[in-house]
Amino acid sequence: MRTLLLVVTLSTTAFAGQTRLKELVEVQGSRENALIGYGLVVGLTNTGDTEQVLFTMQSVAGMLGRLGVRVDPTAIQSRNVAAVMVTSKLPTFSRAGATLDITVSAMGNARSLQGGTLLMTPLTGADGQVYAVAQGPVQVGGYEVNGGFSAVRKNTPTTGSVPAGATVEKSVTPNLGTATLVLRLKRPDFTNATRITAAIDKALGSAVTKALDSAAVEITVPEANKADPVAMLARLEAIEIDADVRAKVVISERTGTIVMGEHVNLRPAAVAHGGLRVSINTQFAVSQPPAFATAGKTVVTPIQQASAKEAEKAAVAVPAASTVDDLVKALNAIGSTPRDLVAILQALKAVGSLDAELEVL
């Protein structure tokens, strides 16, 4: 049975590629920062780390020692504790007191973190400084049930999250600068960098912008805006740019989905694509000894038969196409399935007939 071909066409006739500047660029220096920490999850129902995980028992002993309880790590036999790594993202311009969502992942051989509580865990950045402190009940989107010699598991119970589980302790406020600002393009492109430069100069009423390369645009802040660069950036973010995009085709062989963008062109080509179907059938024959025989026994013998059939398809001439619609019609004329089209598109790209960037997921 032939599978459905799903093709998504991106049309730009209605909107003409108009995109707000805030969707295309970011202010250099304003980015997220990764945070990481090591902590303990307690309150588990015998699903935590076993005694073989030495660092968990040492961590429990160290934590109790800081609370005034002296205990030998080798004497701890509780399975209600699990050692975890805590990760999060610190947004730019974060102020002290803001909350962050965190992810908690087991390090040892804990079976599940369901029902556990993360104890106070400092979260540090790449520079080793503490930027947030995490604590709270862990929410797990899966479960594991053991009974006798069988077990049932859904999703991953050894990874969970704590919404708003971390509190920012150290503010991160990059200096925007009053002399110059650099805008970083999320998708580097010389055409878009030039158009952004022209649009900003038009909005500010003076030639104060320069494209450094395909990924950065530098703005010399006018005297009238140096006292309040934030207001200037807010005004620039609303500017609409006629953004250009690269010709690109994204295909997923697993789902049979093909997505094509604008400017995808197809040069003349001839395509012949045949399919080979191989089948192996197994039948069983029963061999019995003669009647009244004193020796021998009934034997079941498997008999395998292999056959191969190759589909006959004539070569199809694919005409040149200037639009996405024409390209889809040309490919549909071959009468191939999405899995076949994956191979066809790859071959067309290899011979230079497909003028687009090809990405296979």
| pLDDT tens digits for range 105-126 | 999 999 999 999 999 999 999 9
- Alpha carbons 258 and 343: distance in angstroms, whole number: 12
pLDDT at 180: 86
Structure tokens at 94: 């974060």
Are residues 40 and 163 located together in one domain of the fold?
A: yes
Among 134, 168, 202, the domain-final residue is 168
Question: What is the SS3 assignment for 73?
Answer: helix
- Alpha carbons 83 and 37: distance in angstroms, whole number: 11
- Alpha carbons 103 and 75: distance in angstroms, whole number: 30
Among 118, 138, 168, the domain-final residue is 168
From residue 50, how far is each of 70, 82, 247 by CA, in Å?
Answer: 21, 9, 54
Are residues 261 and 320 located together in one domain of the fold?
A: yes
- Cα 155 to its chain centre, rounded Å, is 17
Are residues 106 and 196 located together in one domain of the fold?
A: no
CB 93 within 8 A of CB 173: yes
Are residues 153 and 179 located together in one domain of the fold?
A: no
Are residues 11 and 22 located together in one domain of the fold?
A: no
Are residues 87 and 56 located together in one domain of the fold?
A: yes
Per the structure, the count of domains in the chain is: 3
Closest CA to 106 of 92, 94, 118, 95: 118
Are residues 162 and 193 located together in one domain of the fold?
A: no
Are residues 343 and 284 located together in one domain of the fold?
A: yes
What is the phi/psi pair of residue 201, to 5°? -60, -40
For residue 327, give the H/E element and its range. helix 324-332
Handedness of CA 69, 72, 77, 81 (dihedral sign): positive
Q: Which residues of the chain have pLDDT under 70?
A: 1-17, 142-155, 177-178, 256, 271-284, 286, 291-296, 300-339
Q: What is the dihedral of CA 108, 110, 112, 118, to 10 degrees?
A: -60
Are residues 163 and 59 located together in one domain of the fold?
A: yes
pLDDT at 319: 60
Are residues 132 and 207 located together in one domain of the fold?
A: no
- Alpha carbons 165 and 257: distance in angstroms, whole number: 38
The CATH number of whichever domain residue 212 belongs to comes to: 3.30.1360
pLDDT at 323: 56
| Residue numbers of the domain that contains 195 | 18-29+175-242
Are residues 210 and 268 located together in one domain of the fold?
A: no
CB 49 within 8 A of CB 210: no
Instruction: Return the exposure string of 180-210: e unless at least 16 CB atoms fall within 10 Å of the residue's CB, then b.
Output: ebbbbbeeebeebbebbbebbeeebeeebbe
Among 151, 168, 185, the domain-final residue is 168
- Alpha carbons 235 and 224: distance in angstroms, whole number: 14
Are residues 71 and 148 located together in one domain of the fold?
A: yes
